[in-house]
Amino acid sequence: MKVFIVGAGMAGHALVEELLKAGKGLDIHLFGDEKALPYNRIFLADIIAGRKLPSQLLLKSYLRYEEEGVRLHLGERVERIFPDMKKIITSKGGVYSYDKLVLAVGSTPYIPPIKGVEKKGVFTFRSLRDVYEIMDMARVSKRAIVIGGGLLGIELASSLRELGLEVFLIHILDRLMEQWLDHTASKMLSKRLEDMGIKLILNAKTVEILGGKRSEGVRLSTDEVIYGDFVVLATGVRPNTSLAVASNLKVNRGILVNDFLETSAQDAYAVGECIEHRGRTFGLLSPVMEQVRVCARNLLYGNVEKYEGSVDYALLKVAGVRLLSAGRVHEREVDEIALYRDKENYRKAVVSNGKLVGVILYGNLSGSEKMLSMIKSGEGIKDYSFLIKDLIVEERELKPEDTVCNCNLVTYADILKAIREGARTIEDVQRMTKASTSCGGCAPIVEEILKKHVKARPQRINKVEEYKRAKHPFERELIQKLEAWAEEEDWQKIPEEDRDIGLKWYGIFYRKATPGYFMVRVRITHGKLSSEQALVLAHLSKKFGRNDIDITSRQQIQLRWIEVKDLPKVLEAIESVGLSTLQTGMDNIRNITGDPLSGLVEESLIDTVPIAKRITEVFLGKKQYADLPRKFNLALLGSERDCINCRFNDLCFSLAVKDGKYGFNVYGGGKIGSGGPEPALDLNMFVLPYESIELSKAVFELYSDMGNREDRNKNRFYFLIKELGVEGLRKELERRLLRRLEDKGQDLVKTWGEREGIIEQKNGLYTVSLMVPGGIFTGEDLETVAHLSRRYGSGEIRLSVYQNIYIVNVPEEKLNDLLSHPIFEKYSISTSPYFTNLIACQGSKTCAFGVIENKPDAIRLANYLSEHLPTNKAIRMHWSGCAKGCGQHGAGDLGFVGTKMRFNGEVMLAVEVFLKGKKLNTVPLKDINEYVRKLITEGVI
């Protein structure tokens, strides 16, 4: 039997699954307007917020459909059905014959009669395409307006707020989600949204979209004007009846169906949001899934089962709050109600004629399954106080036959079976049973079952994890508290755990080596800095930071000697020029590094700057990616020269070619500290440039989900790869991406180390380097460089991993004037190779972890070698003040780590010496000059 399903949404996909279960060998064809595979629309807002990848919404892969014999016709719209001939015609001109047909065409967004809705910058929120358009607009916007206070509008507003936008949510009625919530629950939800920073405007009708060709805001019926960069209409949906009308099927508000879910045409059925049954239309997943199961049986066995209607219920997570609304929640005069409320929770039961007819559970969902069962069965009750009180304390014991996932009819027994077969995580249960893959409402119950039945090893929660689990730094209002601490001008009043842990999420570091002063680390993605930004940082350094500037080994700038009273002003100034200090410390994705001359020189075959910016947009400011087991370093190398020590990062994309296309080979697990240097492992993967963004996101999520959170010395990404194995990691990534990853291509990296001097660019302009030994710079000098970049270049500066500076895009005729400036007497354009490839992190002067002074020691050795052993050979000397490895000692030709040793009974300062990442010896610091000279003269290096 040939079955056509028109509509590749959640209902269409679910019907395919039901038919496949029967094993009848049907010839199933699935038609969809969109080119995308069927996906879960419920989580569209999660893509915008960065909580999920688009691929994670896909319900099944192409390969799986193919293996199961399902024919996909995606991007092929069915234009008309000819029921008498049992044929259809499609937008591609195809004419197909069927035996049975099901319409699962869903709904379309309702566009209210608002003047100007046709303007650019006005979006609906229904499909993946809508999501991509909204995301593109959000990236270049500061303020968004969402019209509609239903579930979709609220979820969208929350996601846009998470992106950092100022968000206005406008609703025509006096309360949110009026269909599902009463006034009390709606007020609690409203407060939740307002606490998130969303500006609610209720009981307000939007009458006009303002602006010329592009929207600039809205006008309300009260004549109040709200300005915004774009507008999203989330004003509800209507059944999609266009195909039915074109095919002469009977329609009213929706496509009319009988109890067997048949339309007015023979052998043509309909399910989902497009139908009207007994005068009702449907907008929730639960009744749609019930219709799908009935329809599948009627297709397979003739009309053997009637659809009697469904109990309306929504099991949702709205703005981070879980809630259940089921049945009739708005009581009548003759009804009895039972209520419970505290600060975080609200529970309401509506009882009519001794039967439970409706419930609202806000926050605590304990007892939800029992309540749903009672509403559906019409079971009578005498004492219903237990619905409100007793179930808060103790959840009922599940029986094997009890349904856990109503959307997919997964029972407690099904989940126990999955656990017996190896399920250990909620992702395992989703894959093996489909529980919580639809609306997601049963996820907390699945998690509780896993906790009860999966024996987990006892966790030794470290101090940082304890702090995060008590309350994440993003939820502690630390920046608001910082204002108060600044007013008091007493750094000692800052709670120790906030000072030593929490503030690092905002790039504020208290250093015990400099009591009373803070260091501020500025994120400079890919080391690319505008002159305007440089001038602001220079000003802050001079005014608040003793004129000190540190150029770091991750292409960032650190300001030191900042007093607590000045921190808010410093942060505000940094943000005013588009820079951020966010997530530059602790368990976060740190600054993305790349070739400082990416896109400018001939060696650069892929410009990685825009890729770095896009990946940064994915994670910056989002709690999901700010709660990793440990720090995470990422490097992008699109050049034939590795000047960033690429393979000593947790995730490394290194220039490669495959099948004539440039892309990246992928390496993972590189580290310096946490047990010693380890270069990244070859993951045998090749990705195209744009694919690196999606893969990065999948890796972040995998590390967050599966990384060790016990011993901070053994929870870098390296240890997870070792635990899973390279093949295991690859399989896990492929599962999350829903596609196979390509094997690696040909590596194109030819040389290593820093560039110096006057460097010709491929556009005919030039780059001029300033060699900055150890990254020791000043605010005055940064100000000078900023002005020079404006006068002689394009107003752009690039910072390098080797702590040097480049002025770029200088015309040839301006080179002499630029090089005549006195700044080049202080920082030469070319120097000894011992200095060119020198890295040195902060030492004991400003870092409590530092054992030796480090920077002066590094410069002293470079000076000594330059004088006594001149060479043209580039030797990369990397100095770390302690074993934490901020100076990347394991990545150098020679590496040095500050330590102490006992010699002839005397404790003295020393360095551990590494040769290409392997420890050679421990040498007294006073003897290091001669020791290294001997290594070089004897040809060891």
The catalytic site residues sit at 521, 630-631, 881, 886-887
Task: Please report, as a single letter, which amino acid is at residue 394.
Answer: E
Tokens of 419: 């656990």
Task: Please report, as a single letter, which amino acid is at residue 493.
Answer: K
Is residue 600 within 8 Å of 711, Cβ to Cβ? Answer: no
Please enumerate, as own/partner, the contacts of 564-567 that have beta carbons within 8 Å and a separation of 24 or more. Answer: 564/485, 564/486, 564/489, 564/490, 564/491, 564/494, 564/518, 565/486, 565/487, 565/489, 566/486, 567/482, 567/486, 567/508, 567/518, 567/520
Residue with tokens 């259940």: 324
Residues 6+ apart with CB under 8 A from 621: 162, 163, 164, 582, 583
How many residues belong to the chain? 941
Question: What's the chain's Rg over C-alpha atoms?
Answer: 32
Half-sphere exposure of 288 (CA within 13 A, CB side): 26
Report angle CA 377, 40, 270 to the nearest 5 degrees: 60
Q: In the 8-state DSSP scheme, what is residue 13?
A: H
How many angstroms separate the Cα of 497 from the Cα of each of 485, 486, 839? 14, 17, 31
Q: Distance from CA of residue 192 to its chain's centroid?
A: 22
SS3 for 761-805 is CCCCCEEEEECCHHHEEEHHHHHHHHHHHHHHCCCEEEECCCCCE
Which string of DSSP letters, residue by residue, matches 107-174? EEE-----BTTTSBTEEE-SSHHHHHHHHHHHHT-SEEEEE--SHHHHHHHHHHHHTT-EEEEE-SSS
How many angstroms separate the Cα of 31 from the Cα of each of 44, 76, 77, 88, 795? 21, 6, 7, 11, 53
Task: Please report, as a single letter, which amino acid is at residue 128.
Answer: L
Q: In the 8-state DSSP scheme, what is residue 192?
A: H
Q: Which of 822, 882, 817 lies closest to 849 in space, CA to CA?
A: 882
Strand, coil or helix: 215: coil
Q: In the 8-state DSSP scheme, what is residue 680?
A: P
Q: Which of 540, 474, 541, 461 lies closest to 501 in space, CA to CA?
A: 474
Q: Residue 46 pairs with which residues in a beta bridge? A: none
CA distance 713 to 721: 15
Task: Please report, as a single letter, which amino acid is at residue 323.
Answer: L
CA distance 582 to 552: 16
Which string of DSSP letters, residue by residue, matches 895-912? EEEEEEEEETTEEEEEEE
Tokens of 84: 């008498």
What are the phi and psi torsion angles at 26 (to 5°)? -70, 155
Q: Residue 233 pairs with which residues in a beta bridge? A: 124, 147
CA distance 199 to 272: 34
Is residue 443 within 8 Å of 436, Cβ to Cβ? Answer: yes
Count helices and strands (H / E) in the chain.
Answer: 28, 50
Is residue 509 within 8 Å of 518, Cβ to Cβ? Answer: yes
Strand, coil or helix: 360: strand
CA distance 634 to 644: 11
